[in-house]
A = this chain, B = another copy of it.
Amino acid sequence: MKKVHNFSSGPGILPAEVIKQSAEAVLNFDNLNLSLLEISHRSKNFIAVMDQAVELVKDLLKLPSGYSVIFVGGGASTQFAMVPYNLLKTNGTAGYLNTGVWASKAIKEAKIIGNTQVIASSEDKQFSYIPKGYTIPDNLDYMHITSNNTIYGTQLKEFPKCPVSLVCDMSSDIFSRKINAADFDLIYAGAQKNMGPAGATLVVVKDEILGKTGRTLLSMLDYRTHIKAGSMYNTPPVYPIYVSMLTMKWLKDNGGVSWIEKINEQKAALLYSEIDRNSMFKGTVVKEDRSLMNVNFVLTKPELEAEFDALTKAANLSGLKGHRDVGGYRASLYNALPIESVKALVEVMQEFEKKSA
């Protein structure tokens, strides 16, 4: 099979051995002579998968006690609604940091539910930087941030000191770098970037913050429903959870978050230094806020895009097109992307410079 370098922004690359084992489970899971797609989620075989997935999250995040770990469907976009629905008191206020399209969508949902303040925003410069120096009021029900902005290629290098519950959308950089889990009261992440395939969403929540809004909650939108039932209140997204479990296991077996963090730093440094060195390319965001996960860049001579595209295609580099809202290029360097793929991209960039400069 031809080697493809997969820079897709999400659903994104998964480890080769996870792909192989995931395919096997479709044919014959756990030597049951049945597919994982056609067995009960309440079978002991799948319950073991769910238990293992929860344990891996706790282990990879070094989660203190007092938190619950659940897997739900509906994507991070459903969390944009569930967070205020579960945490924003009927007479309270929520705070948001607006760092891009996803944060803006989260703000839109919170405003439907209750009072919502944008504490700081980088909308004035097309979200090309991370706001700093703002103060988080201590009367908020919670403060919501987005740790990494997939579309723009910015990332919070430090998390704000927060006098209220800190809620973080980590969809695109969870398990990519060490964090202090105790700094957060709620973390959520769609699986399809650093954790697994599309269809499952991880929520990690401090139990004591729940049940305080004064609102009667719809069952499926109530975190407590899923916590109480061990993510089995209804049929969970079985296969996406299984593949996520395998991906987390791959990470743990190889050395965990501290291992991948170093590799992620190396991959990003390699690509950013080439962008800065190469006369044909330039980055699009403030250097200090550059994402290690999504590297955005444009050509200094945009009229040569067709030539560059031909070179990347010939080298089997896939998924480099920028988001439709911003254009240009974006290389997503998720955990499973090997450094060899970044080297292949850098070589093409150098070849392009030689031919076109």
Residues of A whose CB lies within 8 Å of any CB of B are 1-4, 6, 8-14, 19-20, 22-24, 26-28, 32-35, 37-42, 72-78, 80-81, 85, 105, 108-109, 112-113, 190, 192, 196-200, 216-221, 233-240, 243, 316, 318-319, 324
Q: How many identical chains are in the complex?
A: 2
Identify 16 new A-B residue pairs, CB closer than 8 A, beyond the known A1-B28, A6-B34. A1-B33, A8-B38, A9-B40, A19-B38, A23-B26, A33-B316, A72-B74, A78-B220, A80-B219, A81-B219, A108-B219, A197-B239, A199-B236, A199-B237, A199-B239, A237-B240
A22, B26: Cβ atoms closer than 8 Å = yes
Residue of B nearest to A26 (CB): B23
A2, B33: Cβ atoms closer than 8 Å = yes
B238, A198: Cβ atoms closer than 8 Å = yes
A38, B11: Cβ atoms closer than 8 Å = yes
Q: Which of B73, B85, B192 contacts A199 (CB 8 A)?
A: B73
Q: Which of B8, B41, B217 contacts A11 (CB 8 A)?
A: B41
Q: How far, in angstroms, from A235 to B191 measured CA to CA in the complex?
A: 10
A198, B41: Cβ atoms closer than 8 Å = yes
Distance (whole angstroms) from the CB of A204 to the closest CB of chain B:
19
Distance (whole angstroms) from the CB of A318 to the closest CB of chain B:
7
A235, B75: Cβ atoms closer than 8 Å = yes
Contacts of A26 in B (CB 8 A): 19, 22-23, 26
Contacts of A216 in B (CB 8 A): 112
Q: How far, in angstroms, from A19 to B23 measured CA to CA in the complex?
A: 10
Q: Which of B85, B109, B220 contacts A219 (CB 8 A)?
A: B109
Residue of B nearest to A201 (CB): B73
B198, A235: Cβ atoms closer than 8 Å = yes
Contacts of A219 in B (CB 8 A): 77, 80-81, 105, 108-109
Distance (whole angstroms) from the CB of A149 to the closest CB of chain B:
16
Distance (whole angstroms) from the CB of A46 to the closest CB of chain B:
9
Contacts of A217 in B (CB 8 A): 112
Distance (whole angstroms) from the CB of A330 to the closest CB of chain B:
11
B77, A75: Cβ atoms closer than 8 Å = no
Q: How far, in angstroms, from A12 to B216 measured CA to CA in the complex?
A: 34
